[in-house]
Chains A and B, each alone.
Chain A
Amino acid sequence: MSHKHDGWGWMLAVDFFFAGMGGAMLVIAGIGDLFLGDGQTSVLGNFAGAVFIAVGACFLILELGRPFQAFRVFMNPKTILTFGAWNMTLAIIAGILFASFGITLLPWSKLILLRKFFAAFCLIFGLVVATYPGALLARNKARPFWNGPGIMVLFFLSSFITGMAGHILCGYIIGESSWFIVNGYIVGSFSSLVLQDLPHLTAILLLFQLIFWSGYIWIKWSGSTEREAKAAQRWISGDLSASFKLGFILLGTIVPIVLLLFTNPVVHSVGACLALLGGMIMRYLVVRAGEDRTWLPGELKYRSRLPVGNEDFLKAWKS
């Protein structure tokens, strides 16, 4: 049944994807630096974390009805969206400053204590940025597929999978163009324990993701309310099922698990790309699942009869 929706669009899904990935990349970089030492993640990966959050923020701004008034989003500290916006901003700043310590030409690159300080900020703000999209959705009481803490866990997990995939890709790219490292312009990460273990760790998280998503859909489908069961049905046999099963589960989760178990860095990079694709598809499907509100009596039938915008009479009206 076709009917008009006035909710969030694909740009918010892209925001969630980039913000989650970037936030998790900063967390991984922060943990590596704080607990294992310098050069655990690539300089490119550290910069990319902050840049990805900024890209996500740009999509969030484009999703607004009045993008030039975007500064107002920072105005109400009691709301989770404002909290998220502030944390995204602070994470971008902390991420760029932290990544700059990897450029040995910069005078402050030898100040270890200051680097640790920014690594801690990356860890804190990155963690919030990676978590808050899930919390934002989970609080919506009227959206049966989102409501509850489960979606927060799934977003958190996916953020870390995409963040790790991002670091794997950045490590591969910078490894292929190591001229800057050999000549001493940036800190190398060739002997990094973190980067070496990321593919296997990502594969393990992907396996968790597969289990958690199966459980989440099953719990919603057999859940406490009829509206939750209906929302889950869209993922099992409805309009979202093909993208969910083929795009997210098979191509974005199972295939990367297999590829990340190999030892070849090229195969790892392909696996990481597919894991990123899966993360993107998942967020898009989750945002689309939010179209299903708890409908009021007779409302679905009423809305199904409203024009969706491409009707001839509406075009005639506008012309």
Chain B
Amino acid sequence: MAHYAMVIDTRRCVGCHSCTVACKVHNELPVDMIYNPVTTVGPIGVFPDLHMVHIPLLCMHCENTPCVDACPTGASLRREDGIVWIEEKKCVGCKACVMACPYGARIPNQKKGIVQKCDFCSDRVDQGKVPRCVQSCHQKARIFGDLDDPNSEVCKLINRFHAIRLLDELGTKPSVYYINGLGVQMR
């Protein structure tokens, strides 16, 4: 069984937010919901040696899922391939998962009264396609693949660049890795 993961190369990301827009369009999200924000750190340094880093954020599809562990209805689930998703008809909008998620990846949908989140575009992944944010990234800053396949691009990039995971110290074991080539404090 595959273990889907994403590598985000922050050296390539230019902060265009096209992934944010593509995600909103694909998931038909209301105006106040964003699964896929892109934050900016910087500018850092002293002129003329200035630099800034854009950090796309999304659900980290953790191996140890605090959100799934907190869900009292069993609506939050983790598939065998590592994708964490919400069975919407079971969700009552208690927000226990929102409070449990260290990454702010779960967003209450006020209109539907439930919580929603990025599911790595599981509908596309099941058809053998990559998530919409990966497809829309013209800088190829997002790479999606199978972590269990040693020949996959994600596996090679993680090993080659010693990619890091956000808030790794919490023990959540995220499936989203970041290549941080500019030395910006990301932990």
Contacts and interface: CB of A to CB of B under 8 A. Distances in A.
B9 to A, nearest CB: 15
B167 A307 contact: no
A66 B92 CA distance: 5
12 contacts: A65-B94, A67-B92, A74-B72, A76-B74, A81-B72, A85-B72, A140-B100, A141-B66, A296-B57, A296-B166, A297-B53, A302-B37
A73 interface: yes
A293 B99 CA distance: 8
A74 B73 CA distance: 7
Interface string A109-130: 0000000000000000000000
Chain B binding surface SS class: loop
A6 B98 contact: yes
Interface residues of A, number: 42
B79 interface: no
Interface in B153-187: 166-167, 170-172, 184-186
Contacts of A38: none
A142 B32 contact: no
A299 B96 contact: no
Contact of B93 (A65, A85, A298, A306): A65
B22 interface: no
Interface string B76-115: 0000000000000011111110111111100111101111
B1 interface: no
A7 B99 contact: yes
Given A141-B170, A296-B167, A298-B41, A75 B95 contact: no
B24 to A, nearest CB: 13
Nearest to B34: A306
Interface in A71-129: 72-76, 78-82, 85
A65 B113 CA distance: 4
Given A76-B74, A309-B32, A63 B94 contact: yes
Size range of the chain B interface in the assembly: 35 or more
Contact of B99 (A143, A296, A298): A143
Given A76-B73, A76-B74, A298 B55 contact: yes
A8 interface: yes
Contacts of A290: 99
Contacts of A4: 32
Interface of A: 4, 6-8, 63-67, 69-70, 72-76, 78-82, 85, 136, 139-143, 290, 293-294, 296-299, 301-302, 306-307, 309, 314, 317
Contacts of B38: 302
B113 A64 contact: yes
B31 interface: yes
B72 A82 contact: yes
B69 interface: yes
A140 B185 CA distance: 24
A80 B115 CA distance: 19
B100 A7 contact: no
A139 B171 CA distance: 13
Contacts of B107: 6
B98 A297 contact: no
Contacts of B99: 7-8, 140, 143, 290
Nearest to B38: A302
Residue of A67, A69, A73, A298 ringed by the most chain B CB atoms within 10 A: A298
Nearest to A85: B72
Contact of A79 (B34, B40, B72): B72
Contacts of A136: 96
Nearest to B101: A142
Contact of B39 (A69, A85, A142, A302): A302
A136 B57 CA distance: 26
A81 B70 contact: yes
Contact of A299 (B93, B101, B104): B104
A80 B69 CA distance: 9
Contacts of A75: 72-74, 90
Contacts of B104: 293, 296, 299
B71 interface: yes
Contacts of A301: 39-40
